Amino acid sequence: MESDPCGSGLLLALPDDLFAMVSRSLSPRDLCNLSLGCRSLYTLVASEKVWLTQCEMVGVVSYGDLIEWRKGISSYKALCRFLISVMPLLGIWVHQNPELGNVVYVMPGFVSVVGCRIIPQELGPLGIEDGPILWAPVFEIIGDFDGSTAFFLHGRERENDCFYPGSVKGIEKNCNALLLEVEPREQTSGGKLVHARSFIDHSDKEQRKVCRSDSGLSRSQRLVEQSGPMVPFSRLAFGDRRRLLEIVTSQVRLRAPSSAKGPLFPHSRNDEENFQKDMMLLFERKSLLMQMYKLGGGNIDLKAAPELPSDPTLLEVSEIRKSLDHSSAFRGSVSGDDGCTQVAKRKTIGGYFRDSFKQILGKSGSMNGSRSSSKNGSSSSENKHVQLHDFLKSGDTIGLTLHASNVKLSSYRAWPNMHDSRFALYKLPMRVPTAGQEYAGLWGGTFGWPPGRPSEDKPGKALFFLLLSYEEIDEQRHLIATKILEGTHYVLHPNGSAMFIVKINEPSLDPFPWETDADSLPVAVKHAFVGDGIANGYGFRYPGSKPGSLYVIQGGLLAFMWKESRAILTLQRLNLQELLKKGERVPALPPIANFSYLTKSYSNVFAGCANTTNCLASPRFVFYYLLTKCLRSLYPQYKDK
pLDDT digits (tens, 9 = 90+) for 169-185: 889 999 999 999 999 87
When mean pLDDT is compared across 94-108, 356-370, 371-385, 592-606, the lowest value belongs to 356-370
- Longest CA pairwise span in the chain (Å): 93
At 581, the pLDDT band (50, 70, 90 cuts) reads very high
Tell me which residue of 574, 575, 523 sits closest to 551, measured CA to CA: 523
How far, in whole angstroms, is CA 631 from its chain's centroid? Answer: 37
With beta carbons less than 8 A apart as the criterion, state whether 457 and 440 touch. no
* 115 has pLDDT over 50: yes
pLDDT digits (tens, 9 = 90+) for 495-524: 889 999 999 999 999 999 999 887 888 999
Task: Using alpha carbons, list the distances in angstroms from residue 506 to 330, 413, 498.
Answer: 65, 20, 19
Distance in angstroms (rounded) separating the CA atoms of residues 356 and 353: 5
Give residue-wise pLDDT tens across range 60-109.
Answer: 999 999 999 999 999 999 999 999 999 999 999 999 898 888 999 999 99
Lowest mean pLDDT among 149-153, 292-296, 300-304, 606-610: 300-304
pLDDT in tens, 51-62: 999 999 999 999
Q: What is the pLDDT of residues 247-302, one digit of tens each?
A: 999 999 999 998 888 899 998 777 778 888 999 999 999 999 999 999 875 443 43
Whether 169 and 404 have beta carbons less than 8 Å apart is answered as: yes
Question: What is the four-CA torsion angle of 471, 477, 481, 482, rounded to 10 degrees?
Answer: -20
Q: Which pLDDT band holds residue 380 (cuts at 50, 70, 90)?
A: very low
Distance (Å, whole) CA 417 – CA 407: 12
Domains of the chain, CATH where assigned: 9-86 (1.20.1280), 177-405 (no CATH), 437-577 (no CATH)
Residue 195 is which amino acid? H
Specify the 3-state DSSP secondary structure of 628. helix
More confident residue, 334 or 183: 183
Average pLDDT over the chain, rounded to whole? 78
- Strand 160-168 relative to strand 397-405: parallel, antiparallel, unpaired? parallel
Per-residue pLDDT, 402:
97
Please tell me the pTM assigned to this model: 0.80
DSSP code, position 269: T
* Range in 279-293, 407-421, 478-492 the model is least confident about: 407-421
Nearest to 249 by CA among 589, 588, 592, 593: 592
Q: Where does the pLDDT of residue 6 fall: very low under 50, low under 70, confident under 90, or very high at 90 and above?
A: low
Task: Specify the amino acid at residue 417.
Answer: N
Q: Nearest 5 degrees, angle CA 34-CA 37-CA 39?
A: 110
The span from the CA of 38 to the CA of 53, in Å, is 22
Band (200; pLDDT cuts 50, 70, 90) = very low
Q: Is the pLDDT of residue 41 over 70?
A: yes
Q: Is 57 helix (H, G, I), strand (E, B) or coil?
A: helix
Amino acid occupying residue 85: S
DSSP state for residue 490 in the 8-state scheme: B
The predicted pLDDT at position 7 comes to 57
Encode pLDDT of 528-570 as tens digits: 999 999 998 666 777 889 999 999 999 899 999 999 999 999 9
CA 42, distance to chain mean position in Å, is 38
Q: What percentage of the chain has pLDDT greater than the value 90?
A: 45
Q: Is the peptide bond before 450 cis (omega within 30 degrees of 0)?
A: yes
Is it the case that residue 360 has pLDDT exceeding 50?
no
